[in-house]
């Protein structure tokens, strides 16, 4: 609950300080750069390093990859049907295909299922969401951002992406014990992600942004909060036969609102920043209702 209150306070602080003109308009760009280059890499180095693997890990970790693939197909088709711009389609793929599986996901899992269930959420987040963001997410940015980058340029961008480098380093260092000072340092730096990211999202939020984005926002959030979890539930129960607590937590994570960092990445790369910010800022409070619905539904699987 404390994490959810923190998200709300930081978001509202960003909204208010923008309205009061107390900070420069370039503030979101600076904060987004800090999140991508400092906060997120620190968090990946911290959590991925200590991840313990177990037999069901592959199917659990695969969910965000399936989710992103389904989102890509869905929004490519929707973009053609509705005539979305390339930037709008890219923003919807990123924010509709990546869930907030940590800063909203972890406290929600603890609240609905208890602390012991967090292990499944960590697998989804670390081996799924962060890896998808650092690879396929960067690929989508390269394809849908302005310009026509070469394949080699996209690959270089992925390799040079700080969270991707942190992921590779964390996997390489899994057999080594972090010294206490490094563990403390990474913890403090990682703790800055949620407040910094939500402040940035709040600073960019404006009711005016809803004008011209209602259709895209409704489509994006309907997919992210309702359709995608439904399709993944059918896939995991009907095809993979996963069951029990592992299945419920995996699918509960699938129902999380758009990932904050995905919205920041879309905004930083010019993929319809207003829509990307709205997907996050409107999706988080709306998810409080839809997650309660999915908790009830998943109780039967």
pLDDT tens sequence across 102-134: 878 887 887 788 877 877 888 898 789 988 988
- The residue ranking higher by pLDDT, 95 or 197, is 95
| Closest-CA residue to 233 (of 283, 289, 280, 296) | 296
pLDDT tens sequence across 60-84: 999 999 999 999 999 999 999 999 9
pLDDT tens sequence across 141-178: 888 876 656 667 777 777 888 888 888 898 888 888 99
Q: What is the pLDDT of residue 127?
A: 84
Whether residue 42 lies inside any domain: the answer is: yes
DSSP string covering 178-230: PPHHHHHHHHHHHTTHHHHHHHHHHHH--GGGGTTTHHHHHHHHHIIIIIHHH
> Into how many domains does the chain fold?
1
In this prediction the pTM is: 0.81
Range of the structural domain that residue 125 is part of: 2-12+38-298
Say which CATH number the domain at 223 has.
Answer: 1.20.1530.20
Q: What is the pLDDT of residue 147?
A: 60
- The residue ranking higher by pLDDT, 33 or 69, is 69
Whether residue 19 lies inside any domain: the answer is: no
Whether residue 20 lies inside any domain: the answer is: no
pLDDT tens sequence across 231-267: 999 999 988 877 788 899 999 999 999 998 899 889 8
Average pLDDT, the chain: 87
């Amino acid at each position: 609950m404390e994490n959810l209150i923190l998200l709300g306070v930081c978001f509202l602080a960003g909204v208010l300080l923008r309205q009061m003109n107390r900070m420069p308009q370039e503030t979101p760009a600076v904060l987004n750069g800090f999140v991508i280059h400092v906060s997120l890499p620190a968090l990946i180095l911290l959590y991925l390093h200590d991840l313990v693997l177990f037999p069901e890990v592959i199917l659990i970790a695969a969910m965000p990859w399936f989710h992103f693939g389904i989102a890509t197909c869905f929004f490519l088709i929707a973009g053609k049907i509705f005539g979305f711009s390339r930037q709008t389609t890219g923003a919807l793929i990123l924010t509709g295909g990546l869930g907030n599986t940590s800063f909203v996901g972890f406290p929600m899992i603890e609240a609905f299922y208890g602390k012991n269930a967090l292990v499944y959420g960590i697998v989804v987040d670390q081996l799924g969401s962060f890896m998808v963001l650092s690879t396929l997410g960067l690929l989508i940015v390269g394809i849908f951002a302005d310009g026509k980058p070469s394949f080699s340029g996209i690959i270089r961008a992925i390799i040079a992406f700080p969270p991707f480098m942190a992921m590779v380093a964390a996997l390489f260092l899994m057999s080594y014990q972090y010294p206490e000072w490094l563990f403390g340092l990474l913890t403090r730096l990682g703790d800055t992600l949620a407040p910094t990211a939500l402040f940035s999202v709040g600073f960019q939020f404006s009711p005016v942004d809803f004008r011209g984005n209602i259709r895209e926002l409704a489509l994006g959030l309907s997919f992210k909060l309702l359709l995608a979890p439904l399709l993944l539930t059918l896939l995991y129960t009907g095809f993979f036969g996963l069951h029990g607590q592992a299945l419920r937590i995996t699918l509960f994570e699938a129902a999380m609102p758009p990932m904050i960092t995905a919205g920041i990445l879309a905004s930083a790369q010019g993929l319809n920043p207003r829509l990307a910010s709205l997907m996050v800022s409107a999706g988080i409070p709306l998810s409080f209702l839809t997650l309660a619905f999915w908790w009830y539904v998943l109780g039967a699987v």
